[in-house]
Structure 1
Amino acid sequence: MALSDLHSAAASLTTHALDIAKGVPAANLAVELFRLAGGCKVSIAKAVTNVQGRCEAPLLTQSTVEPGAYVLEFDAGAYHGAASPFDIIPVEFNISDPAGHYHVPLVLAPGGYSTYRGAPPSRVPDDKGSWGAISARVSLPNHPAAPPPGVGGPGLTVHVIDISRGIGAGSLKGELYRCGDGDCRTAVGGFVVNDEGRTDQWLIDAGKLQRGDYELTFEAGDYFARANFGVGATPFFDRIRIRVRVIDASAHHHIPLLLSPWGYSCYRGS
């Protein structure tokens, strides 16, 4: 499987649509990008998502991006094919750093949606000191990148985004367990999330996934304490636990986690 627009060296704006009602990528979803200028919308790009829920090419590249306000519009009504209170989903955002790579995922269902600034694998935008007093970026050794989720066979992967800053949750520690009867758990191994928000190696390698229940734990309190977010000695969300049931061991299971000091969400990605 070829790498997507997200991994294009020239990418300035990319998106990824996930159908959370079905737990699959939102394929064949029409997307249109507008630039806002003088109270008017100027259409500058159109695309339809592929089987990965991505576009075949970046919506903006280094040669076409300009600082300013933009709107991404997703034709959710046509995608769902049924009555929905969200026909067109408009996502307005600003691009301040034309040298950066902006990633805007959409998680949607007939009855709702969510979006956030994702963490692309290259050129994190410069926030111009907006978070000068808060910095948890821990420099980690460079390692060969693991294959993207869904490439190379079934396995288990995670992607953790610090949505309080729109970056990968680099240095977040976690543990993977295999669950047995009752409260019995067997530790599979610990991991540390890299600066992209992923792990350097898949949590379960391709071809080694088994049917059954797994539990992922993430040390969120420790992560945000080191980020100087002022979560205190007893953070509200200290440890995040996510239980995952694998019914089809022939399918890849990718679990994104979006977290801030005061909340989190997860879903089955692609």
Structure 2
Amino acid sequence: MSSLTTHILDLTHGTPAHNVEIHLSQVNNNHLTLLSSAVTNEDGRLPEPLLSEEEMKAGEYELLFHIGDYFRNKEVQDDDPRFLDKVSVRFGISDPSSHYHVPLLVSPWGYQVYRGS
């Protein structure tokens, strides 16, 4: 079943990152069209896919993770401005019949993203 999902792992605490706002946008000629917004649960995941099987279309997309607020609430980093406030990940969907999973591993000072399974 095709869909777009994500999850966030907090590398500073070694736990899933809960209560993080995520925005999904479609990118057309560097113009963003907001498709959906969601907030991670206790497992660092979303209750529903960001794109369902019916919504999957080939194209360029952006996930915007609001991790600055998350780390401020955890009292990890209170710098102003924060080193990382929002993490933007642009990626392409070339095969809408496939499942795309885009995990974010994050700390206040760095992140890694990859195509998961």
Per the TM superposition, whether the score is higher than 0.5 is yes
> Match for 2:68: what amino acid?
G
CA drift at 1:235: 0.5
Partners of 2:104 and 2:52 in 1: how far apart? 19
**Percent of pairs with identical residues:** 35
State whether residues 225 and 232 of structure 1, in contact with CA within 8 Å, keep that contact through their aligned partners in structure 2: no
Partners of 1:224 and 1:205 in 2: how far apart? 29
Q: Confirm whether residue 174 of structure 1 aligns to residue 22 of structure 2.
A: yes
Partners of 1:167 and 1:195 in 2: how far apart? 9
Count of aligned pairs:
117
Structure 1 equivalent of residue 69 of structure 2? 222
State whether residues 221 and 231 of structure 1, in contact with CA within 8 Å, keep that contact through their aligned partners in structure 2: no
Partners of 1:193 and 1:252 in 2: how far apart? 19
Report 1:165-204 matches (<5 A). Answer: 165-181=13-29, 183-204=30-51
Partners of 1:215 and 1:230 in 2: how far apart? 25
Give RMSD over aligned pairs. Answer: 0.9
CA drift at 1:233: 2.4
CA drift at 1:205: 1.1
Partners of 2:77 and 2:52 in 1: how far apart? 37
State whether residues 53 and 97 of structure 2, in contact with CA within 8 Å, keep that contact through their aligned partners in structure 1: no
Deviations 1:146-187 (A, max 9, x none): xxxxxxx10100011001111110001110001101x21100
Partners of 1:231 and 1:263 in 2: how far apart? 16
CA drift at 1:208: 2.0
State whether residues 256 and 266 of structure 1, in contact with CA within 8 Å, keep that contact through their aligned partners in structure 2: yes
Partners of 2:57 and 2:9 in 1: how far apart? 26
CA drift at 1:234: 0.9
> Match for 2:13: what amino acid?
R
Secondary structure in 2 aligned to 1:224? Answer: helix
Q: Confirm whether residue 154 of structure 1 aligns to residue 41 of structure 2.
A: no
Which among 98, 102, 109 is matched to residue 255 of structure 1? 102
Deviations 1:193-252 (A, max 9, x none): 111011011100123200000000011111101110133221101110001101111110
Partners of 2:3 and 2:113 in 1: how far apart? 18
- Structure 2: where are the runs of 5+ without partners? none
TM-score between the two structures when normalised by the length of structure 2: 0.96
Secondary structure in 1 aligned to 2:69? Answer: helix
Partners of 1:269 and 1:216 in 2: how far apart? 15
Deviations 1:96-140 (A, max 9, x none): xxxxxxxxxxxxxxxxxxxxxxxxxxxxxxxxxxxxxxxxxxxxx
Secondary structure in 2 aligned to 1:221? Answer: helix
Deviations 1:248-269 (A, max 9, x none): 1111000110001111001000
Partners of 2:53 and 2:10 in 1: how far apart? 27
Structure 1 equivalent of residue 80 of structure 2? 233
Deviations 1:1-43 (A, max 9, x none): xxxxxxxxxxxxxxxxxxxxxxxxxxxxxxxxxxxxxxxxxxx
Which structure is larger by alpha-carbon Rg, 1 or 2? 1
> Match for 2:85: what amino acid?
D
CA drift at 1:192: 0.4
